[in-house]
Amino acid sequence: AACNYDPDAAADDGSCEFAQTGYDCDGNCLSDVDGDGICDEFEIPGCTDVFACNYDAAATDENGSCEYSSCLGCTDVDACNYDPEAVYNDGSCDYTSCGTPGCTNSNACNYNPEADAEDGSCEYTSCVGCTDESACNYDPIFTQDNGSCEYAVEYYDCDGNCVMDMDGDGVCDELEVAGCTDMMACNYDSNATNNDGSCEFAVTYYDCDGNCLNDADMDGVCDELEVVGCMDMMACNYDMAATDEGGMCEYAEEFYDCSGNCLNDADMDGVCDVFEIAGCMDESACNYDATATDDDESCEYAAEAYDCDGNCLNDADMDGICDVFEIAGCMDELACNYDPSATDDDGMCEYAEALYDCDGNCLNDMDGDGICDELEIEGCTDEMACNYDATATDDDESCTYAEEFYDCDGNCLNDVDGDGVCDELEVEGCTDPEAENYNADATEDDGSCYYCDIDVIADSSNETDGDGSGSISLIVSGGSFPYEFSWTGPDSFTSSEPTLSNLSAGTYVLTITDANGCTASIDVIIENVVNVAEIHALVFDVYPNPSNGTFWIQGGTALSGLATVEVMDASGRLVTSKELYFNDAPMQLDLGGVETGYYLVVLRNSNQVGTSRLLVH
């Protein structure tokens, strides 16, 4: 039926639209069992894993046919074992078995004439540059010239500075032009670069021809040099330097000169002789004359402290003794400060305190300590004593003192950690009784405790038919890193390596010593397996190898299901341990930024174990 069937239509107009094969009118599959949007009629079975060797880009349904081994191999064309059929590099590339690897291009900066196997390391930039020693950008590290040399301009160095510039003016001596370089000079030379001292200048206010630059009144005196002032020689302000009359002349008053001084003043008192008046000029004199200008030595004075009438100027107590002659003081003969010359008692008499004389000395002081016998207090007077009495004046030998390092209450003077043991009495050491270096006398733990709890797990493989192919790898934990390894075995065998290979049958004894001298020992037996069928080693590869710390683990058909991966460093210390589920596909592992060096990868399942070495660079 057409998708746009119209039951009301009476005649077919040829506009019918039909669904595509396998779909309904809404574009949905008529049959899609797995619900993936691809109609069952159009499904294509095959391998859909892009990492599989037989991946089929056209396949829409996974049929379980994926396989991962046929396309693995060395994909580097420069490797000795390059496999043109390989799609994925399995880390097996070998560059040494067929020659000496290195850069074989003689034009390269790192060309190695000894290399006969190109390893792709050639580089062509580090040795290319300017090789001319006279060039500004010469670099002795360059061995091949690329035409980039740059040279200094004549007379200049590579920094643009003159090679010769005696006067330091930035103009090279060879390019100097002597002459007058001052633009204000009459003989200024615009081409000159070196002033030769020949500059000639116009006098100030004049041009180079000797004419005034400004002369408004045309009197031959430049305006800037004109002096306005009084030109009358009889005037007080006559100015002999004046060139223009200013109408400002000033004249002296009668009897005075231009400075206001008297023309006649015999006694030099500033009063002209014609205006002098004789008389007593001392205001303190009894016959003082306020109009007098010349003292005629006729002054008369009252006696000291008296007025001109002979009366005291000041006598507050009216005792007939002028205040100025009064002597204030203590008039009590019993006082310490009695003054027999005093005429006025000032009420300031001072008397000795009870038990003391007027000099403040005790009337009674048997021990001469400055404390009167009547005021003495017995007790401990040593401020350092626990029973010090601040009020005591006589020491009665009753003082008591705190023990060294303690206060008077028996508390430590210094106890930073508050453990009740004074800092001066602390003994540092290991305070853990479980530690190897426990110190029973220690009161302060210094973090030095160490424990001999080294655990060792040995993984070994036997030799086959006496071929010396046995091996031992270790997992070490506990104790203090680094470890020292000491092996002994059959036929005087010794070794200090954590991992052993190429071993013959026998018993191998390991002694491990950690950084603190703790030891642990184990015995490992390597057997000689005569029947090859007895060998159950788990075979696998790790790639890429060398690696940056991230690598893949690929095994044969035996590597399937749950397995444990352990990675140990060259000292035998466990770096990581993970459980992975293998399903015949390679599995990735990331060591997460470990140091460069060799690592041992141990893979074990329920009944097999295998090892492989990995180089991290």
Rounded to an integer, the average pLDDT of 464-469 is 78
428-459: b (≥16 Cβ within 10 Å) or e: ebbbeeebeeebeebbeeeeebbbeebebebb
Decide: residue 129, CB within 10 A, 0-12 exposed, 13-18 middle, 19+ buried: buried
Which residues are 507's β-sheet partners?
525
Res 322 pLDDT > 60: yes
Res 362 pLDDT > 50: yes
Is 105:111 a contact under the CB 8 Å cutoff? Answer: yes
Res 397 pLDDT > 70: yes
Rounded to an integer, the average pLDDT of 545-567 is 85
* DSSP states of 216-273: TT-SSS-GGG--EEB--TTSTTB-TT-SEE-S----PPTTB-TTS-BS--TT-SSS-G
Rounded to an integer, the average pLDDT of 593-604 is 87
From CA 393, how far away is CA 395, in angstroms rounded?
7
Tokens of 147: 């035409």
For 490, the 3-state DSSP assignment is helix
- Give 556's pLDDT tier (boundaries 50, 70, 90): low
Res 324 pLDDT > 80: yes
Q: Which domains are present in the chain?
A: 450-535 (2.60.40.10), 537-617 (2.60.40.3080)
Which residues are 612's β-sheet partners?
601
Chain mean pLDDT for the chain: 88
Decide: residue 315, CB within 10 A, 0-12 exposed, 13-18 middle, 19+ buried: middle
Torsion of CA 141, 143, 147, 150, to 10 degrees: 30
CA 82 and chain centroid, separation? 53
Residue type, 256: Y
pLDDT digits 0-9 by tens, 274-309: 888 999 999 989 999 999 999 889 999 988 899 898
Res 533 pLDDT > 80: no
pLDDT digits 0-9 by tens, 233-282: 889 988 888 888 777 888 888 899 998 899 998 888 888 988 889 999 99
The whole-number pLDDT of residue 537 equals 67
The whole-number pLDDT of residue 380 equals 95
pLDDT digits 0-9 by tens, 126-150: 889 999 999 999 989 888 888 899 9
CB atoms within 10 A of CB 543: 21
